Structure 1
Amino acid sequence: MGLLTNKMEREELKAGDHIYTYRAVFAYSHHGIFVGGSKVVHFRPEHNLNSSSSSSFTSAASSSTEDICPTFPDCGFRQPNSGVVLSCLDCFLKNGSLYRFEYGVSPSVFLTKLRGGTCTTAQSDPTDSVIHRAMYLLQNGFGNYDIFKNNCEDFALYCKTGLLIMDKLGVGRSGQASSIVGAPLAAVLSSPFSLLIPNPIGVATVTAGMYCMSRYATDIGVRRDVVKVSVEDLALNLDVKSSIEGEEEEDSDTEFVR
Protein backbone atom coordinates (compact mmCIF):
# COMPACT_ATOMS: atom_id res chain seq x y z
CA MET A 1 0.00 0.00 0.00
CA GLY A 2 1.11 3.57 -0.58
CA LEU A 3 0.04 7.04 -1.58
CA LEU A 4 -1.51 5.92 -4.86
CA THR A 5 -3.41 2.82 -3.77
CA ASN A 6 -4.45 0.84 -0.69
CA LYS A 7 -4.64 -2.39 -2.66
CA MET A 8 -3.45 -5.47 -0.79
CA GLU A 9 -3.14 -9.23 -1.10
CA ARG A 10 -5.25 -11.66 0.90
CA GLU A 11 -2.15 -13.00 2.62
CA GLU A 12 -1.66 -9.58 4.22
CA LEU A 13 -5.08 -9.57 5.87
CA LYS A 14 -5.29 -9.40 9.65
CA ALA A 15 -8.32 -9.81 11.89
CA GLY A 16 -9.80 -6.42 12.67
CA ASP A 17 -8.80 -4.86 9.33
CA HIS A 18 -11.20 -2.39 7.76
CA ILE A 19 -11.36 -3.53 4.15
CA TYR A 20 -13.21 -2.39 1.07
CA THR A 21 -13.71 -3.21 -2.58
CA TYR A 22 -15.03 -1.21 -5.49
CA ARG A 23 -18.37 -1.85 -7.16
CA ALA A 24 -19.87 -0.79 -10.51
CA VAL A 25 -16.55 -0.07 -12.23
CA PHE A 26 -15.12 2.00 -9.34
CA ALA A 27 -18.30 4.05 -8.99
CA TYR A 28 -18.40 3.40 -5.24
CA SER A 29 -16.76 1.21 -2.62
CA HIS A 30 -18.26 -1.28 -0.19
CA HIS A 31 -16.70 -1.53 3.29
CA GLY A 32 -16.56 -4.12 6.03
CA ILE A 33 -14.56 -5.50 8.96
CA PHE A 34 -12.49 -8.64 8.45
CA VAL A 35 -13.02 -10.75 11.57
CA GLY A 36 -10.77 -13.67 10.63
CA GLY A 37 -11.52 -17.11 9.25
CA SER A 38 -12.21 -15.66 5.78
CA LYS A 39 -15.26 -13.84 7.21
CA VAL A 40 -16.32 -10.21 6.87
CA VAL A 41 -18.99 -8.33 8.82
CA HIS A 42 -20.50 -5.51 6.80
CA PHE A 43 -23.58 -3.29 6.59
CA ARG A 44 -26.01 -3.20 3.68
CA PRO A 45 -29.48 -1.86 2.90
CA GLU A 46 -32.09 -4.36 4.01
CA HIS A 47 -33.87 -4.32 0.65
CA ASN A 48 -30.70 -5.75 -0.93
CA LEU A 49 -30.84 -8.82 1.27
CA ASN A 50 -32.78 -11.97 0.47
CA SER A 51 -34.61 -13.82 3.21
CA SER A 52 -35.03 -17.58 3.28
CA SER A 53 -38.03 -19.21 4.92
CA SER A 54 -36.31 -22.59 5.17
CA SER A 55 -33.18 -21.43 6.95
CA SER A 56 -32.12 -19.08 9.72
CA PHE A 57 -29.38 -17.82 7.46
CA THR A 58 -29.90 -15.09 4.90
CA SER A 59 -28.10 -14.73 1.62
CA ALA A 60 -25.97 -11.62 1.31
CA ALA A 61 -26.62 -11.48 -2.40
CA SER A 62 -28.29 -8.42 -3.82
CA SER A 63 -30.24 -10.38 -6.39
CA SER A 64 -32.62 -13.30 -5.97
CA THR A 65 -30.89 -15.01 -8.88
CA GLU A 66 -27.60 -15.39 -6.98
CA ASP A 67 -26.82 -18.76 -5.41
CA ILE A 68 -26.15 -19.39 -1.76
CA CYS A 69 -22.44 -19.54 -0.95
CA PRO A 70 -21.22 -23.11 -1.63
CA THR A 71 -18.21 -22.80 0.66
CA PHE A 72 -19.50 -21.44 3.97
CA PRO A 73 -22.99 -22.43 5.18
CA ASP A 74 -23.19 -19.40 7.48
CA CYS A 75 -22.27 -16.93 4.74
CA GLY A 76 -25.06 -14.36 4.57
CA PHE A 77 -26.13 -14.72 8.19
CA ARG A 78 -27.98 -11.76 9.64
CA GLN A 79 -30.63 -11.08 12.23
CA PRO A 80 -34.20 -10.29 11.07
CA ASN A 81 -34.69 -6.66 10.03
CA SER A 82 -30.97 -5.96 10.23
CA GLY A 83 -28.60 -4.88 7.50
CA VAL A 84 -25.48 -6.14 9.29
CA VAL A 85 -24.33 -9.29 7.50
CA LEU A 86 -21.66 -11.96 7.95
CA SER A 87 -20.18 -12.95 4.58
CA CYS A 88 -17.20 -14.91 3.41
CA LEU A 89 -14.42 -12.89 1.83
CA ASP A 90 -15.18 -14.18 -1.68
CA CYS A 91 -18.84 -13.13 -1.51
CA PHE A 92 -17.87 -9.77 -0.04
CA LEU A 93 -15.40 -9.04 -2.83
CA LYS A 94 -17.54 -10.41 -5.68
CA ASN A 95 -14.41 -10.85 -7.83
CA GLY A 96 -13.28 -7.32 -6.99
CA SER A 97 -9.86 -6.31 -5.71
CA LEU A 98 -9.10 -6.07 -2.00
CA TYR A 99 -8.14 -2.78 -0.32
CA ARG A 100 -7.31 -1.87 3.28
CA PHE A 101 -8.61 1.37 4.80
CA GLU A 102 -5.81 3.31 6.51
CA TYR A 103 -6.01 4.80 10.01
CA GLY A 104 -3.84 7.38 11.75
CA VAL A 105 -2.58 8.98 8.55
CA SER A 106 -1.04 12.44 8.69
CA PRO A 107 -2.99 15.46 7.38
CA SER A 108 -0.59 15.75 4.44
CA VAL A 109 -1.17 12.13 3.42
CA PHE A 110 -4.93 12.52 3.88
CA LEU A 111 -4.98 15.52 1.55
CA THR A 112 -3.08 13.65 -1.15
CA LYS A 113 -5.86 11.06 -1.31
CA LEU A 114 -8.15 12.78 -3.78
CA ARG A 115 -10.77 10.06 -3.46
CA GLY A 116 -12.71 9.83 -0.22
CA GLY A 117 -13.34 6.61 1.66
CA THR A 118 -9.75 5.37 1.74
CA CYS A 119 -8.24 6.71 4.98
CA THR A 120 -8.73 8.81 8.11
CA THR A 121 -6.55 10.70 10.55
CA ALA A 122 -8.37 8.98 13.43
CA GLN A 123 -6.58 6.21 15.29
CA SER A 124 -7.91 2.67 15.31
CA ASP A 125 -8.78 0.93 18.57
CA PRO A 126 -7.19 -2.43 19.48
CA THR A 127 -8.16 -5.44 17.39
CA ASP A 128 -10.18 -7.10 20.17
CA SER A 129 -12.39 -4.01 20.53
CA VAL A 130 -12.90 -3.77 16.77
CA ILE A 131 -14.00 -7.40 16.40
CA HIS A 132 -16.18 -7.19 19.52
CA ARG A 133 -18.08 -4.22 18.08
CA ALA A 134 -18.53 -5.90 14.69
CA MET A 135 -19.81 -9.18 16.15
CA TYR A 136 -22.03 -7.40 18.68
CA LEU A 137 -23.64 -5.32 15.93
CA LEU A 138 -24.09 -8.47 13.86
CA GLN A 139 -26.41 -9.67 16.61
CA ASN A 140 -28.03 -6.32 17.42
CA GLY A 141 -28.03 -4.30 14.20
CA PHE A 142 -26.74 -0.85 13.27
CA GLY A 143 -29.98 1.02 12.66
CA ASN A 144 -31.41 2.04 9.31
CA TYR A 145 -29.11 2.29 6.31
CA ASP A 146 -28.68 5.80 4.92
CA ILE A 147 -26.34 6.46 2.01
CA PHE A 148 -25.21 9.80 3.45
CA LYS A 149 -25.50 9.39 7.23
CA ASN A 150 -25.30 5.69 8.06
CA ASN A 151 -23.70 3.55 5.38
CA CYS A 152 -21.23 0.66 5.17
CA GLU A 153 -18.22 2.92 5.65
CA ASP A 154 -19.85 4.53 8.70
CA PHE A 155 -20.33 1.04 10.13
CA ALA A 156 -16.69 0.08 9.61
CA LEU A 157 -15.43 3.41 10.96
CA TYR A 158 -17.49 2.96 14.12
CA CYS A 159 -16.22 -0.59 14.61
CA LYS A 160 -12.64 0.64 14.31
CA THR A 161 -12.92 3.78 16.45
CA GLY A 162 -16.12 3.67 18.51
CA LEU A 163 -16.78 7.27 17.44
CA LEU A 164 -20.22 8.63 16.61
CA ILE A 165 -21.27 12.08 15.44
CA MET A 166 -23.44 13.92 17.96
CA ASP A 167 -25.10 16.11 15.31
CA LYS A 168 -27.16 13.81 13.09
CA LEU A 169 -28.27 16.62 10.78
CA GLY A 170 -25.08 16.73 8.71
CA VAL A 171 -23.05 14.23 6.73
CA GLY A 172 -22.01 11.07 8.56
CA ARG A 173 -18.51 9.74 9.16
CA SER A 174 -18.18 8.34 5.64
CA GLY A 175 -15.43 9.75 3.44
CA GLN A 176 -17.38 8.73 0.35
CA ALA A 177 -20.39 10.77 1.45
CA SER A 178 -18.14 13.74 2.20
CA SER A 179 -16.68 13.47 -1.29
CA ILE A 180 -20.10 13.40 -2.92
CA VAL A 181 -21.13 16.53 -1.04
CA GLY A 182 -17.72 18.20 -1.15
CA ALA A 183 -17.12 18.04 -4.90
CA PRO A 184 -20.12 20.13 -6.03
CA LEU A 185 -19.70 22.41 -3.00
CA ALA A 186 -16.10 23.11 -3.96
CA ALA A 187 -17.17 23.86 -7.52
CA VAL A 188 -19.76 26.35 -6.31
CA LEU A 189 -17.42 28.06 -3.85
CA SER A 190 -14.61 28.33 -6.39
CA SER A 191 -16.79 29.75 -9.18
CA PRO A 192 -16.18 33.40 -8.16
CA PHE A 193 -12.45 32.81 -8.59
CA SER A 194 -13.01 32.22 -12.30
CA LEU A 195 -13.53 35.97 -12.61
CA LEU A 196 -10.22 36.69 -10.90
CA ILE A 197 -8.14 33.85 -12.32
CA PRO A 198 -8.24 33.79 -16.13
CA ASN A 199 -6.18 30.60 -16.31
CA PRO A 200 -8.42 27.46 -16.25
CA ILE A 201 -5.61 25.52 -14.58
CA GLY A 202 -5.59 28.02 -11.73
CA VAL A 203 -9.35 27.69 -11.25
CA ALA A 204 -9.05 23.89 -11.27
CA THR A 205 -6.29 24.08 -8.66
CA VAL A 206 -8.41 26.26 -6.39
CA THR A 207 -11.39 23.93 -6.80
CA ALA A 208 -9.28 20.87 -5.99
CA GLY A 209 -7.87 22.60 -2.93
CA MET A 210 -11.32 23.49 -1.62
CA TYR A 211 -12.52 19.95 -2.27
CA CYS A 212 -9.64 18.45 -0.29
CA MET A 213 -10.11 20.87 2.59
CA SER A 214 -13.85 20.14 2.76
CA ARG A 215 -13.05 16.42 2.99
CA TYR A 216 -10.46 17.05 5.69
CA ALA A 217 -12.87 19.18 7.73
CA THR A 218 -15.41 16.32 7.85
CA ASP A 219 -12.89 13.60 8.77
CA ILE A 220 -13.72 11.97 12.13
CA GLY A 221 -10.14 12.46 13.27
CA VAL A 222 -10.58 16.23 12.96
CA ARG A 223 -14.24 16.86 13.77
CA ARG A 224 -15.16 18.16 17.22
CA ASP A 225 -18.72 16.83 17.22
CA VAL A 226 -17.77 13.18 17.71
CA VAL A 227 -18.07 11.19 20.91
CA LYS A 228 -16.92 7.74 22.00
CA VAL A 229 -19.91 5.41 22.48
CA SER A 230 -19.73 1.84 23.71
CA VAL A 231 -21.33 -0.69 21.40
CA GLU A 232 -23.65 -1.86 24.17
CA ASP A 233 -25.00 1.68 24.66
CA LEU A 234 -25.31 2.12 20.91
CA ALA A 235 -27.34 -1.07 20.53
CA LEU A 236 -29.57 -0.06 23.46
CA ASN A 237 -30.26 3.35 21.93
CA LEU A 238 -31.08 1.74 18.59
CA ASP A 239 -33.57 -0.60 20.30
CA VAL A 240 -35.25 2.33 22.07
CA LYS A 241 -35.45 4.30 18.84
CA SER A 242 -36.95 1.34 16.98
CA SER A 243 -39.59 0.76 19.66
CA ILE A 244 -40.55 4.45 19.67
CA GLU A 245 -40.88 4.49 15.88
CA GLY A 246 -43.00 1.34 16.04
CA GLU A 247 -45.33 2.88 18.63
CA GLU A 248 -45.68 6.04 16.53
CA GLU A 249 -46.63 3.97 13.49
CA GLU A 250 -49.22 2.03 15.51
CA ASP A 251 -50.70 5.28 16.86
CA SER A 252 -50.95 6.76 13.37
CA ASP A 253 -52.64 3.60 12.09
CA THR A 254 -55.14 3.71 14.96
CA GLU A 255 -55.99 7.35 14.30
CA PHE A 256 -56.45 6.58 10.61
CA VAL A 257 -58.93 3.80 11.41
CA ARG A 258 -60.90 6.13 13.66
Structure 2
Amino acid sequence: MVNHEGLTVGLDHISFEDVIQQAGVSRTAVYRRWPYKDLFFSDLLRELADGAAPAAAVDEAATRRLLGSVLAASTGDLTTPQGRHDVVSELLRVSAVSDFEAVHGSPEWRTYLALQATFSSLPDGDLREDVQAALARSEQRFVGRVATGWERVATALGYRPRPDTGAGFPLIATLATAAMRGLVLMALSDPDLLARRVPANPTGASAPADWSLIGLAAAGIAVAYLEPDPDVVWDGDRVASLRALVTRVPDRHRAGG
Protein backbone atom coordinates (compact mmCIF):
# COMPACT_ATOMS: atom_id res chain seq x y z
CA MET A 1 0.00 0.00 0.00
CA VAL A 2 2.82 2.42 0.83
CA ASN A 3 4.55 1.73 -2.47
CA HIS A 4 1.29 2.25 -4.31
CA GLU A 5 -0.22 5.13 -2.33
CA GLY A 6 2.98 6.82 -1.17
CA LEU A 7 3.82 8.31 2.23
CA THR A 8 1.95 11.49 3.02
CA VAL A 9 2.87 14.57 5.01
CA GLY A 10 0.28 17.14 5.93
CA LEU A 11 -1.01 19.58 8.52
CA ASP A 12 -2.94 17.07 10.63
CA HIS A 13 -0.74 17.84 13.64
CA ILE A 14 -2.07 21.43 13.71
CA SER A 15 -5.35 21.96 15.53
CA PHE A 16 -7.69 24.44 13.84
CA GLU A 17 -9.17 25.31 17.22
CA ASP A 18 -5.70 26.01 18.65
CA VAL A 19 -4.97 28.29 15.69
CA ILE A 20 -8.14 30.27 16.36
CA GLN A 21 -7.36 30.55 20.07
CA GLN A 22 -3.74 31.64 19.60
CA ALA A 23 -4.73 34.12 16.89
CA GLY A 24 -7.12 35.75 19.37
CA VAL A 25 -9.88 36.20 16.81
CA SER A 26 -13.58 35.48 16.86
CA ARG A 27 -14.40 31.82 16.31
CA THR A 28 -17.61 32.85 14.55
CA ALA A 29 -15.72 35.12 12.15
CA VAL A 30 -13.23 32.38 11.36
CA TYR A 31 -15.91 29.81 10.54
CA ARG A 32 -17.76 32.39 8.48
CA ARG A 33 -14.69 32.69 6.28
CA TRP A 34 -13.74 28.99 6.41
CA PRO A 35 -16.90 26.92 7.08
CA TYR A 36 -14.77 23.75 7.05
CA LYS A 37 -11.29 23.40 8.47
CA ASP A 38 -10.13 21.73 5.24
CA LEU A 39 -10.77 25.04 3.46
CA PHE A 40 -8.55 26.81 5.98
CA PHE A 41 -5.75 24.27 5.61
CA SER A 42 -5.96 24.54 1.82
CA ASP A 43 -5.48 28.31 2.05
CA LEU A 44 -2.71 27.78 4.60
CA LEU A 45 -0.86 25.46 2.20
CA ARG A 46 -1.10 28.08 -0.54
CA GLU A 47 0.22 30.76 1.82
CA LEU A 48 3.10 28.62 3.09
CA ALA A 49 4.11 27.55 -0.40
CA ASP A 50 4.10 31.11 -1.73
CA GLY A 51 6.36 32.33 1.05
CA ALA A 52 8.50 29.22 1.34
CA ALA A 53 12.27 29.51 1.30
CA PRO A 54 14.06 26.38 0.06
CA ALA A 55 16.83 27.26 2.52
CA ALA A 56 18.24 30.13 4.50
CA ALA A 57 20.49 32.03 2.12
CA VAL A 58 23.75 33.48 3.43
CA ASP A 59 23.45 37.25 3.16
CA GLU A 60 25.75 39.62 1.30
CA ALA A 61 27.39 40.98 4.44
CA ALA A 62 28.33 37.47 5.61
CA THR A 63 29.79 36.68 2.19
CA ARG A 64 31.90 39.85 2.31
CA ARG A 65 33.17 38.97 5.77
CA LEU A 66 34.10 35.48 4.63
CA LEU A 67 35.90 36.78 1.54
CA GLY A 68 37.66 39.35 3.71
CA SER A 69 38.92 36.65 6.08
CA VAL A 70 40.16 34.57 3.15
CA LEU A 71 42.00 37.57 1.68
CA ALA A 72 43.49 38.42 5.07
CA ALA A 73 44.83 34.90 5.49
CA SER A 74 46.13 34.66 1.93
CA THR A 75 49.89 34.83 1.42
CA GLY A 76 49.66 34.87 -2.37
CA ASP A 77 50.04 37.83 -4.69
CA LEU A 78 46.63 38.90 -6.00
CA THR A 79 48.26 40.46 -9.05
CA THR A 80 49.31 36.97 -10.26
CA PRO A 81 46.91 34.42 -11.79
CA GLN A 82 47.98 31.69 -9.36
CA GLY A 83 47.57 34.00 -6.36
CA ARG A 84 44.00 34.85 -7.38
CA HIS A 85 43.27 31.23 -8.20
CA ASP A 86 44.36 30.19 -4.73
CA VAL A 87 42.03 32.78 -3.17
CA VAL A 88 39.10 31.53 -5.26
CA SER A 89 39.90 27.94 -4.33
CA GLU A 90 40.06 28.72 -0.61
CA LEU A 91 36.85 30.74 -0.77
CA LEU A 92 35.05 27.80 -2.39
CA ARG A 93 36.42 25.47 0.26
CA VAL A 94 35.37 27.49 3.30
CA SER A 95 32.16 29.07 1.99
CA ALA A 96 30.71 25.70 1.03
CA VAL A 97 30.97 24.57 4.64
CA SER A 98 29.24 27.67 6.02
CA ASP A 99 26.50 27.44 3.39
CA PHE A 100 26.00 23.74 4.12
CA GLU A 101 25.69 24.34 7.86
CA ALA A 102 23.27 27.24 7.31
CA VAL A 103 20.98 25.14 5.13
CA HIS A 104 21.22 22.04 7.31
CA GLY A 105 20.15 23.97 10.41
CA SER A 106 17.52 26.06 8.66
CA PRO A 107 13.88 25.80 9.84
CA GLU A 108 12.89 27.17 6.42
CA TRP A 109 14.53 24.17 4.77
CA ARG A 110 12.56 21.69 6.87
CA THR A 111 9.31 23.52 6.17
CA TYR A 112 10.10 23.54 2.47
CA LEU A 113 10.91 19.82 2.54
CA ALA A 114 7.59 19.10 4.26
CA LEU A 115 5.75 21.25 1.73
CA GLN A 116 7.31 19.34 -1.14
CA ALA A 117 6.21 16.05 0.41
CA THR A 118 2.74 17.41 1.12
CA PHE A 119 2.41 18.68 -2.44
CA SER A 120 3.30 15.27 -3.86
CA SER A 121 0.43 13.71 -1.91
CA LEU A 122 -2.25 16.19 -2.98
CA PRO A 123 -4.88 14.96 -5.43
CA ASP A 124 -5.10 16.55 -8.86
CA GLY A 125 -7.02 19.79 -8.79
CA ASP A 126 -6.81 23.52 -8.15
CA LEU A 127 -5.05 23.19 -4.78
CA ARG A 128 -2.27 21.00 -6.18
CA GLU A 129 -1.77 23.36 -9.13
CA ASP A 130 -1.74 26.43 -6.85
CA VAL A 131 0.79 24.89 -4.45
CA GLN A 132 2.97 23.68 -7.32
CA ALA A 133 3.02 27.14 -8.90
CA ALA A 134 3.78 28.79 -5.55
CA LEU A 135 6.63 26.39 -4.81
CA ALA A 136 8.05 27.01 -8.28
CA ARG A 137 8.01 30.78 -7.64
CA SER A 138 9.74 30.28 -4.30
CA GLU A 139 12.35 28.07 -5.95
CA GLN A 140 13.02 30.64 -8.67
CA ARG A 141 13.46 33.42 -6.11
CA PHE A 142 15.93 31.35 -4.12
CA VAL A 143 17.98 30.25 -7.14
CA GLY A 144 17.99 33.89 -8.26
CA ARG A 145 19.53 34.94 -4.94
CA VAL A 146 22.15 32.20 -5.18
CA ALA A 147 22.95 33.23 -8.77
CA THR A 148 23.39 36.84 -7.68
CA GLY A 149 25.78 35.74 -4.94
CA TRP A 150 27.89 33.66 -7.31
CA GLU A 151 27.97 36.49 -9.84
CA ARG A 152 29.03 39.13 -7.31
CA VAL A 153 31.86 37.04 -5.91
CA ALA A 154 33.03 35.76 -9.30
CA THR A 155 33.01 39.25 -10.81
CA ALA A 156 34.86 40.71 -7.84
CA LEU A 157 37.57 38.07 -8.25
CA GLY A 158 37.79 38.56 -12.01
CA TYR A 159 36.00 35.39 -13.15
CA ARG A 160 33.25 34.84 -15.71
CA PRO A 161 31.18 31.89 -17.04
CA ARG A 162 33.00 29.95 -19.75
CA PRO A 163 31.49 31.06 -23.08
CA ASP A 164 31.82 27.58 -24.63
CA THR A 165 29.61 25.99 -21.95
CA GLY A 166 26.58 28.12 -22.74
CA ALA A 167 26.02 28.42 -18.99
CA GLY A 168 25.26 31.58 -17.08
CA PHE A 169 25.04 32.19 -13.35
CA PRO A 170 21.39 30.98 -13.11
CA LEU A 171 22.42 27.53 -14.38
CA ILE A 172 25.47 27.50 -12.11
CA ALA A 173 23.21 28.40 -9.18
CA THR A 174 20.74 25.66 -10.10
CA LEU A 175 23.47 23.01 -10.14
CA ALA A 176 25.04 24.30 -6.91
CA THR A 177 21.64 24.35 -5.19
CA ALA A 178 20.84 20.81 -6.34
CA ALA A 179 24.17 19.51 -5.02
CA MET A 180 23.72 21.34 -1.73
CA ARG A 181 20.17 20.12 -1.24
CA GLY A 182 21.04 16.53 -2.06
CA LEU A 183 23.84 16.42 0.52
CA VAL A 184 21.72 18.21 3.14
CA LEU A 185 18.96 15.66 2.60
CA MET A 186 21.46 12.80 2.98
CA ALA A 187 22.86 14.39 6.15
CA LEU A 188 19.44 14.21 7.82
CA SER A 189 19.96 10.47 8.22
CA ASP A 190 23.78 10.46 8.11
CA PRO A 191 25.02 13.42 10.22
CA ASP A 192 28.63 12.28 9.77
CA LEU A 193 28.50 13.85 6.31
CA LEU A 194 28.68 17.24 8.04
CA ALA A 195 32.13 16.53 9.43
CA ARG A 196 33.57 14.40 6.63
CA ARG A 197 36.70 15.83 4.99
CA VAL A 198 38.71 14.59 2.01
CA PRO A 199 42.38 15.58 1.38
CA ALA A 200 42.20 16.89 -2.17
CA ASN A 201 43.12 19.60 -4.65
CA PRO A 202 40.09 19.78 -6.99
CA THR A 203 40.88 23.25 -8.33
CA GLY A 204 44.60 23.01 -9.03
CA ALA A 205 45.57 25.33 -6.19
CA SER A 206 49.16 25.71 -4.98
CA ALA A 207 48.61 23.11 -2.27
CA PRO A 208 46.04 20.47 -1.33
CA ALA A 209 43.72 20.90 1.65
CA ASP A 210 40.96 19.11 3.53
CA TRP A 211 37.71 19.55 1.60
CA SER A 212 34.13 18.92 2.67
CA LEU A 213 31.90 16.96 0.32
CA ILE A 214 29.86 20.03 -0.59
CA GLY A 215 33.12 21.92 -1.13
CA LEU A 216 34.20 19.30 -3.64
CA ALA A 217 30.84 19.61 -5.40
CA ALA A 218 31.07 23.42 -5.52
CA ALA A 219 34.67 23.25 -6.76
CA GLY A 220 33.66 20.85 -9.53
CA ILE A 221 30.94 23.22 -10.70
CA ALA A 222 33.24 26.25 -10.52
CA VAL A 223 36.05 24.52 -12.45
CA ALA A 224 33.62 23.32 -15.12
CA TYR A 225 31.79 26.61 -15.67
CA LEU A 226 34.03 29.51 -14.60
CA GLU A 227 37.26 30.95 -15.99
CA PRO A 228 39.39 34.08 -15.43
CA ASP A 229 37.98 37.02 -17.36
CA PRO A 230 40.64 38.03 -19.92
CA ASP A 231 39.28 41.59 -20.04
CA VAL A 232 40.05 42.23 -16.35
CA VAL A 233 43.40 43.89 -15.71
CA TRP A 234 44.82 43.12 -12.27
CA ASP A 235 46.94 46.00 -11.08
CA GLY A 236 47.34 47.75 -7.75
CA ASP A 237 44.14 49.72 -8.16
CA ARG A 238 42.11 46.58 -8.88
CA VAL A 239 43.52 44.79 -5.84
CA ALA A 240 42.80 47.84 -3.68
CA SER A 241 39.21 47.96 -4.98
CA LEU A 242 38.70 44.30 -4.08
CA ARG A 243 39.98 44.81 -0.56
CA ALA A 244 37.78 47.91 -0.18
CA LEU A 245 34.75 45.93 -1.34
CA VAL A 246 35.08 43.29 1.34
CA THR A 247 35.72 45.79 4.12
CA ARG A 248 32.81 48.08 3.21
CA VAL A 249 29.84 47.81 5.56
CA PRO A 250 26.42 47.95 3.84
CA ASP A 251 24.32 50.95 4.91
CA ARG A 252 21.68 48.82 6.61
CA HIS A 253 24.35 47.33 8.89
CA ARG A 254 25.83 50.64 10.00
CA ALA A 255 25.31 51.86 13.52
CA GLY A 256 21.77 53.01 13.99
CA GLY A 257 20.70 51.36 10.69
Report if TM-score (shorter chain) is over 0.5: no
Identify the structure with the greater helix proportion.
Answer: 2
TM-score by length of 2: 0.27
Greater relative contact order, per chain length (Cα 8 Å cut-off, separation 6+): 2
Which protein shows a greater Rg?
A: 2
Identify the structure with the greater strand proportion.
Answer: 1
TM-score by length of 1: 0.27
